[in-house]
Structure 1
C-alpha cells in the first residue's frame, strides 16, 4: 500500500492531506478531525482502517499542516466544499466520510451538499445544534490585534487541561499526545485565521436541513462526553432519517484516541451493511 502526504492548493488555500491507497478496495474513507486538532488525532485509527480500505485524512484549514490564509472563508460550508474539491481532484466519485466533533458537522455539510457522492457518514461525537458566534464577539474580532486575545484565551486553558476535558481517563494523556496537539499552535499565524473563523462560522445545520439528509449514518458517542453530551447524539439520531447510534462505555469526547479498535469495528460493520 502506498502512502502520500501532500500540501496542495485547493479552493484558495493550501490543503494538507494524507492518502493511503489500498491496492484492491474500492472503498475510500475520508477522515475529518475536530476543532483545535489535526490528522494527528486519527493516528491510532488509520493503521486499522487502511488494512481494508483506502484512507484520505485531511487537515481542515486552518488546522494542522494546512494553510492559515487570511483570505480564506472559514465557514463549515466552505470547508466542506474544499474537501469536495479535493475529492474531485483525486477522482474519488464516492466515499464514506468520518468526522469527529467539528469534523462531524463538516461531514454533515458534505452529505447535505453532495448526497450522491457520500455513500455513508460516520459521526464521532459530532458537533450539532451549535449556534454561530454572538454579534458582540464577531464585532470584537475586527479589533486590530484581536488574534493576540485568541492566543491568550487558548494558552490559559493549555493543552493538558483541554485534553483532560475531552478524555474519560486522564491517565492516558502522555507526552506524545501533549506535543502532537500542541505542535500546530506553535505557528502564530493560526490565531489570525481563528479570528476569521469567529466571523465566518455559521451555526450548525438546523433540524430542517438535517431531516433532508438521507445518507446512511452511524453515530458513535462516548458515554461520558462532556464537550458534546450524549443527549445531543440522541437528538441528532432522531433528526437524521437513516441513522443508528452506538454508545461507547468508559469513553469521553476523544473517541478516536480512546477507543480506536471499537470505532474501527463499528465502522467496518456499518460499511459492510451499506455495501
Structure 2
C-alpha cells in the first residue's frame, strides 16, 4: 500500500492529507478525527483496512501536520469543520466515511447534506447526549485549560477517556496533549464549550436528513459515549445498525488486540460488505 501526502486548500484553510492507495482497491474511505486528535489516531484502523480500501486521513487546521500551514487567529467552528470535510469529500469522492468520538457530529452533519459519493458510514464512540461522566470530565478539563495546566490536561485524558489504553499509547497521548501550542488549547476550550452546550434536540433535523446506512459502534465499557445513549437515533435515521465492542472503552481498537479484531470483523462483514 502506497502512502501519499499533500496539503490542499479548502475554504481558505490549508489541510494536510494522507492517502493510503492500494492498486487492487476500487473504493476509498475518509476518516474523521475526534477532538484534538490527528491522523495518528487511526493507526489500528489503517492496519485493519489495509489492502481492502483506499484511505484518506486529514488534520484540521489547528492541529497535527496542518498546524504549520495555517495562521490561527480565532477558534474554528463546527460549521467550518463540516465545510472542510465536505470539501475533502468533493475532492476525493470516497465511498465510505468513518469517524471517531466527537468527529461523529461533523460526520453526521455532512451526511445530512447527502454527498453523492458516500454509500455507507461508520460512526464510532459517539453519543447523542452528555453523560454524567462526560460532564464531569469536560468541566474538569475546562478548568485545567483555563489555567494552562497542560500536563494535568494530558493526565486527565489518560485517567478518564483513555484509561483502557495500553501504557505506551497513554505515554504517546500525554506527550501529544502536553505539547500542543496555545492556539490549539484555545481551540480545545472552544470545542469543550460546544460540547457542553450540546442538546439532542438541536440535531434531530440533522439526523432526519441522513439517507445512507450508518453503523454506530461503541465500547461496552465506555461511560463517556455510551452504547445506550446512541440508540435513539434509530427513530430518525432510517437505515442504521448498532454494534458493541466487548471489553472496550472509548478508544475501541486502540485498546487491545481483541477489540481490534472485533472492529476488523465489523469492517469486513458490515461496512465493506
Common fold, TM-score beyond 0.5?
yes
Deviations 1:112-155 (A, max 9, x none): 1234232111010124346xxxxxxxxxxxxxxxx997363663
Unaligned runs of 5+ in 1: 131-146
Deviations 1:66-111 (A, max 9, x none): 236435662223212212212333xx33421100011111111111
- Aligned length in residues: 254
**Is 1:257 paired with 2:257?**
no
Partner of 1:150: 145
Q: Residues 126 and 61 from structure 1, CA distance in 2 versus in 1: closer, same or farther, beyond 3 angstroms?
A: farther
Partner of 1:57: 57
Partner of 2:205: 208
Partner of 1:221: 218
SS in 1 for 2:147: helix
Deviations 1:223-244 (A, max 9, x none): 1112112222222344321000
SS in 1 for 2:65: coil
Q: How large is the RMSD of aligned CA atoms in angstroms?
A: 2.9
Of 170, 176, 180, which residue of structure 2 is paired with 1:183?
176
Q: Residues 198 and 257 from structure 1, CA distance in 2 versus in 1: closer, same or farther, beyond 3 angstroms?
A: closer
Which moved further from structure 2: 189-198 or 11-20?
A: 189-198
Shift of 1:264: 2.1
Work out whether residues 104 and 124 of structure 1, in 8 Å CA contact, stay in contact via their aligned partners in 2: yes
Partner of 1:98: 98
SS in 1 for 2:44: coil
Work out whether residues 25 and 54 of structure 1, in 8 Å CA contact, stay in contact via their aligned partners in 2: yes
Work out whether residues 12 and 72 of structure 1, in 8 Å CA contact, stay in contact via their aligned partners in 2: no
TM-score normalised by structure 1 residue count: 0.80
Of 211, 231, 236, which residue of structure 2 is paired with 1:234?
231
Partner of 1:194: 188
Partner of 1:12: 12
SS in 2 for 1:213: coil
Q: Distance in 2 between matches of 1:236 and 1:154?
A: 37
Work out whether residues 29 and 98 of structure 2, in 8 Å CA contact, stay in contact via their aligned partners in 1: yes
Following superposition of structure 1 onto structure 2, how do residues 11-30 of structure 1 map, counting pairs within 5 Å? 11-30=11-30
Q: Distance in 2 between matches of 1:73 and 1:193?
A: 5
Moved runs in structure 1, 4+ residues, more than 4 A? Answer: 195-205
Q: Distance in 2 between matches of 1:160 and 1:195?
A: 17
Q: Distance in 1 between matches of 2:45 and 2:53?
A: 12
Work out whether residues 45 and 256 of structure 1, in 8 Å CA contact, stay in contact via their aligned partners in 2: yes
Q: Distance in 1 between matches of 2:156 and 2:27?
A: 37
Q: Distance in 1 between matches of 2:194 and 2:238?
A: 28
